[in-house]
């Protein structure tokens, strides 16, 4: 099957643009790592993947904000509206990137180059002040088209394989597969494309087969993808109409679960879903979201994207055609599905009905109190116990960049303490005696350490040099204590 001729609009540094910081040295962080930075910050040596202190050491005065995926999607709505003026078949790959098939629009505007010019002008006209100009590219298939957009080029029809040949295999986005290919001497997409397809499938499995198709310039969507049957569409009518985003998001979560369950019964998974909404005064809106790859499948991922889209429609101040009333109907249409061969059930099984009841209760609490009212702990990077756990809203995936693995110089070894004090408890240490919070003195019977850390050494106001110790007392309690000069604190307590 030949690839679909595709135009992709790419807005550089979108998380920074969405945060309103494109014109200053700024970086967007997720779990302590840079996921996007402005051009001014890049000029000072800031790059994606750096830890916060590394980025701040390279660029004094760097403005740092946490990543807000929902805000990215909300701010991207005006761009989608601008592209939609040329064709209604706009597909949002992720906030900052959208794609359209060029067959109809290119014929109307006189070719791919002419279409690129008018689309770029329209998108640049709605970008925030100070944002870098968008880049638009055309190629065969969304994967090649996105690479073309980053270079701002139009790849001739049938030339995607040659265009991609010089790109490194890391371009595929699969870190584990790319690492394996490099160790086998396959460093570029061109080298991968030269391998026999049956051999790639036999050696690397479905992931290798998909990568091989991309390297050959074929459509990244598999041949088995097909249009979903109409009966899989799920609809919810809201009476009274929903005026608040939290109420609409709660309905969206239920719809996403229903759609996912219906697909699961038939052994399918959705790779593209149309989100349609009807409003109290007759307005109708629709957006297409790509759900394929990068953790984008499943009910939670779908509910997250529907929430982003509702947020863009209901609260984006920059969109002129906002709905004038409440939400009365929400519809999810799975436009493209494939066999679900990538899911693995839990090893120990479990009561699915009980898990679904809990999920409904938690979703209802979030609908009433907001997503931040129900959180779950996920491992994160850091040296102290308090830094090694991050709370994320229940039902959402951990943000990109979470890194719980070493290297973390000065990090205490496992096991982690059972109780981490929100505010460290002051203590006194004299010879082999310790007093906590002014209490009775107790003998130190065993200790381990120290684990020294030198934090924020580039910032004189925030510079801290301290060491952590594990201390066992005669009372039978074990504590994690930190020492800074003559000052002692208890950060955590072990069972």
- CATH code (residue 236): 3.30.1490.100
Has residue 72 been placed in a domain? no
Has residue 26 been placed in a domain? yes
Tell me how many domains the chain contains: 3
Is residue 244 located within the same domain as residue 337? yes
456-460: list long-range contacts, CB under 8 Å, 24+ apart. Answer: 456/53, 458/53, 458/56, 458/57, 459/56
Has residue 36 been placed in a domain? yes
Among the candidates 35, 67, 99, a domain finishes at 67
Angle at 115 between CA 112 and CA 121, to 5 degrees: 140
Is residue 328 located within the same domain as residue 236? yes
Among the candidates 67, 89, 122, a domain finishes at 67
Has residue 41 been placed in a domain? yes
pLDDT value for 350: 45
Is residue 236 located within the same domain as residue 338? yes
Which pair of tokens denotes residue 493?
């307590």
Has residue 392 been placed in a domain? no
> What element of type H or E holds 209?
helix 197-215
Angle at 431 between CA 429 and CA 434, to 5 degrees: 35
Is residue 339 located within the same domain as residue 424? no
pLDDT value for 321: 62
Has residue 425 been placed in a domain? yes
Among 304, 272, 308, 263, CA closest to 291: 272
Tell me how far apart the alpha carbons of residues 122 and 119 are, in angstroms, rounded to a whole number: 5
Which pair of tokens denotes residue 237?
């009518």
Has residue 251 been placed in a domain? yes
What Å distances lie between residue 262 and 231, 266, 288, CA to CA?
Answer: 9, 7, 19
pLDDT value for 224: 39
pLDDT along the chain (495 residues), means of 10: 82 92 91 89 90 89 89 87 85 89 87 92 90 92 90 90 91 84 90 90 85 83 46 86 87 88 80 87 84 65 86 66 82 80 46 60 74 76 72 68 59 76 84 83 84 76 80 84 84 83
Domain carrying residue 30: 20-67
Among the candidates 52, 67, 82, a domain finishes at 67
DSSP, residue by residue, 19-40: TT-TTSSEEEEETTEEEEE-HH
Tell me how far apart the alpha carbons of residues 416 and 385 are, in angstroms, rounded to a whole number: 7
- Under a CB-based contact definition with an 8 Å cutoff, are residues 382 and 408 in contact? yes
- Under a CB-based contact definition with an 8 Å cutoff, are residues 284 and 276 in contact? yes
Has residue 199 been placed in a domain? no
């Amino acid at each position: 099957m030949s690839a679909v001729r595709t135009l992709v609009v790419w807005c550089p540094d979108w998380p920074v643009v969405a945060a309103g910081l494109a014109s200053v040295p700024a970086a967007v962080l997720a779990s302590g790592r840079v996921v996007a930075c402005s051009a001014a910050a890049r000029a000072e040596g800031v790059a994606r993947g750096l830890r916060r202190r590394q980025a701040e050491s390279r660029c004094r005065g760097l403005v740092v904000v946490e990543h807000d995926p929902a805000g990215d999607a909300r701010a991207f709505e005006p761009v989608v509206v601008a592209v939609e003026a040329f064709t209604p078949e706009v597909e949002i790959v992720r906030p900052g990137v959208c794609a359209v098939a060029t067959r109809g629009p290119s014929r109307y505007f006189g070719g791919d180059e002419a279409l690129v010019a008018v689309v770029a002008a329209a998108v640049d006209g709605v970008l925030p002040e100070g944002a870098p100009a968008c880049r638009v590219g055309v190629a065969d298939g969304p994967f090649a088209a996105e690479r073309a957009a980053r270079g701002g080029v139009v790849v001739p029809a049938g030339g995607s394989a040659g265009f991609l040949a010089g790109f490194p295999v890391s371009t595929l986005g699969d870190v584990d597969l790319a690492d394996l290919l490099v160790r086998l001497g396959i460093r570029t997409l061109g080298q991968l494309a030269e391998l026999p397809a049956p051999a790639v499938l036999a050696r690397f499995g479905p992931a290798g087969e998909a990568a091989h198709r991309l390297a050959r310039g074929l459509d990244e969507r598999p041949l088995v993808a097909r249009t979903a049957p109409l009966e899989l569409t799920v609809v919810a009518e809201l009476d009274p109409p929903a005026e608040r985003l939290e109420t609409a998001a709660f309905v969206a979560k239920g719809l996403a679960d229903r759609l996912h369950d219906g697909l699961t019964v038939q052994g399918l998974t959705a790779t593209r879903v149309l989100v349609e909404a009807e409003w109290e005064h007759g307005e109708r809106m629709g957006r297409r979201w790509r759900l394929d790859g990068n953790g984008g499948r499943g009910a939670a991922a779908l509910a997250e994207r529907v929430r982003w889209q509702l947020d863009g429609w209901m609260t984006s101040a920059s969109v002129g055609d906002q709905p004038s009333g409440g939400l009365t109907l929400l519809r999810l249409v799975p436009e493209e599905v494939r066999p679900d061969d990538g899911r693995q059930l839990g090893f120990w099984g479990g009561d699915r009905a009980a898990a679904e009841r809990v999920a409904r209760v938690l979703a209802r609490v979030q609908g009433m109190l907001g997503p931040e009212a129900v959180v779950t702990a996920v491992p994160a990077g850091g040296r102290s116990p308090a830094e090694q756990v991050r709370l994320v809203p229940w039902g959402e995936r951990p943000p990109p960049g979470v890194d719980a693995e070493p290297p973390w110089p000065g990090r205490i070894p496992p096991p982690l303490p059972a109780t981490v004090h929100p505010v460290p408890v002051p203590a006194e240490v004299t010879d082999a005696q310790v007093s906590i919070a002014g209490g009775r003195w107790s003998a130190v019977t065993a200790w381990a350490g120290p684990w020294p850390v030198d934090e924020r050494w580039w910032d004189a106001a925030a510079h801290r040099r301290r060491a952590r110790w594990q201390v066992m007392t005669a009372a039978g309690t074990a504590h994690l204590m930190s020492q800074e000069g003559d000052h002692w604190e208890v950060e955590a307590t072990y069972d």
